[in-house]
Amino acid sequence: MFSPSSRPSLASDAPIGIFDSGIGGLTVAHAMAQAMPGESLLYFGDTAHMPYGDRSPELVRTYSVRIAQYLREEGCKAIVIACNSASAAATDAVREVAGEDIPVMDVVQPVVEYLAERGVARVGVIGTRATVGSGIYGRSLAEARARREGDAASLHPTVEWPTPLLAPLIEEGWHDHALMEPVIASYLTAAGWLGDGMGAIDALVLGCTHYPLADEVFRRVVGPHVELVDGPGIVAKAVSKALDSRGLRRSDSLPRHQFLVSDLTENFKRSAERFFGEEIPLQPGGPWFKG
């Protein structure tokens, strides 16, 4: 663990700051820990203010900016916005706070680049109301395709559909509960991708950091022919590449992770282990903590 007094002086030895509205971003943190085993992570989950997915863009931006300031003050060498809702509302504002020297990555752009690079035509996206309401995936994917292919870019519009019940169910530990399958099927049918719409999409983006926990249920519902896009894995690779290109990778030492939340309850502790895939020392802390 590190504290401001023990803050590493070398930029590459500094932790990667990563934040989410709560504990869903731990799926991204876990993928990053696997992809970059030598890197230290400073994770902050804003459990006191979640869910961001039901908040206004202005409020999500206000919270995100405060968190970015905190991660900067803690000496983080990069900031990863591990929340789709915050990525949609606050990436530009976080970049402004971070300044030129601290790279900022969100969870939307790497997925968009992945889809554009592979020429995936018909894409469906599910996420919170905040993410879907922003239209960020459709807009960014159209831009990325146009950059790569110009006039030949796919004309297929990206369909984005809000699935607000899923994050609370998964948070409750119901990611593999019998209820998940009919709830997911109802949403995907309403979006036009099941039933009569079967075969309407080539890829389904799980545009919320909670959803990968229920990937087996998604797979059963969509069948074998729809690609489920693995956001955390794609984001972890993109972060690793971005750090490499700036000479900020550290790989030869034992990582020191820190996991902070703005409100710590027994339930968050239990859920955090599920999201990270192993036991983690979740502690109260962060920008609003007066401990």
Residues labelled as active-site residues: 83, 208
Question: If 0-12 CB within 10 Å is exposed, 13-18 middle and 19+ buried, where does residue 206 land?
Answer: buried
Compute the least distance from the CB of residue 42 to ligand DGL, in Å.
18
To the nearest 10°, report the CA torsion of 117, 110, 29, 135: -130
- Kindly tell me which of 204 and 248 has the beta carbon lying closer to ligand DGL: 204
Q: What's the CA gap between 64 and 16, in Å, rounded?
A: 16
- Kindly tell me which of 166 and 248 has the beta carbon lying closer to ligand DGL: 166
- Which residue minimizes CB distance to ligand DGL? 53
Compute the least distance from the CB of residue 171 to ligand DGL, in Å.
8
Compute the least distance from the CB of residue 38 to ligand DGL, in Å.
26
Compute the least distance from the CB of residue 88 to ligand DGL, in Å.
8
Q: Please report, as ranges, the residues that interact with ligand DGL according to CB under 6 A.
A: 20-22, 24, 50-53, 83-85, 127-128, 131, 167, 208-210
Compute the least distance from the CB of residue 156 to ligand DGL, in Å.
24
**Beta-carbon contacts of residue 281 (< 8 Å; ≥ 6 apart):** 259
Structure tokens given for 86: 């915050």
Compute the least distance from the CB of residue 168 to ligand DGL, in Å.
9
- Kindly tell me which of 111 and 208 has the beta carbon lying closer to ligand DGL: 208
CA 256 to chain centre: 21
- Kindly tell me which of 114 and 211 has the beta carbon lying closer to ligand DGL: 211
- Kindly tell me which of 107 and 191 has the beta carbon lying closer to ligand DGL: 107
3-state secondary structure string, the chain?
CCCHHHCCCCHHHCCEEEEECCCCCHHHHHHHHHHCCCCCEEEEECCCCCCHHHCCHHHHHHHHHHHHHHHHHCCCCEEEECCHHHHHHHHHHHHHHHCCCCCEEECCHHHHHHHHHCCCCCEEEEECHHHHHHCHHHHHHHHHHHHHHHHHCCCCCCEEEECCCHHHHHHCCCCCCCCHHHHHHHHHHHHCCCHHHCCCCCEEEEECCCHHHHHHHHHHHHCCCCEEECHHHHHHHHHHHHHHHCCCCCCCCCCCCEEEECCCCHHHHHHHHHHHCCCCCEEECCCCCCC
- Kindly tell me which of 111 and 201 has the beta carbon lying closer to ligand DGL: 111
